[in-house]
Amino acid sequence: MNQTKLGLCVAVVVCLMLAFGGPMGTLPLATAEEPQLDLNSPDVIKQVLDQQVGKRVKVKLKSGQDIEGKVARVGSHAVHLTELSGMEFFDATVKVDDVTTVIVKVRTK
């Protein structure tokens, strides 16, 4: 390939990258639709669980026990977890007041 064709190919690739997001097109971008947490709210645990409906979480209870599963529903007093890790045929209903920590996977390597 001669020098002119090579230069033209590079120019086309650069234009396409810029038109379709370039190297930033593959990076996740923060969106304005993600609600911010009010960490001073007494309902912060419930807010986090509400945002994770349909996703897998691990909750740590006041007793020290960990429960990992998919958040199915969140009520004013309890959360319903399905597909429990290690107990896939079982569901759990946990009082929101008994949850001390919600662990959520937010990124991969």
80, two tokens: 């319903």
Question: Same domain for 53 and 105?
Answer: yes
Whether 20 and 44 share a structural domain: no
pLDDT above 90 (res 58)? yes
In a domain, 81, yes or no: yes
Rg (CA), the chain: 22
In the chain, pLDDT over 70 holds for what percent of residues? 68
Taking only the tens place, the pLDDT of each residue in 73-89 is 999 999 999 999 999 89
pLDDT at 37: 81
Q: Is residue 34, in this structure, part of any structural domain at all? A: no
**CATH number of the CATH domain containing 85:** 2.30.30.100
Residue 32 has pLDDT above 50, yes or no: no
Question: Quick check: 48 pLDDT over 80?
Answer: yes
Q: State whether 50 and 76 are in the same domain.
A: yes
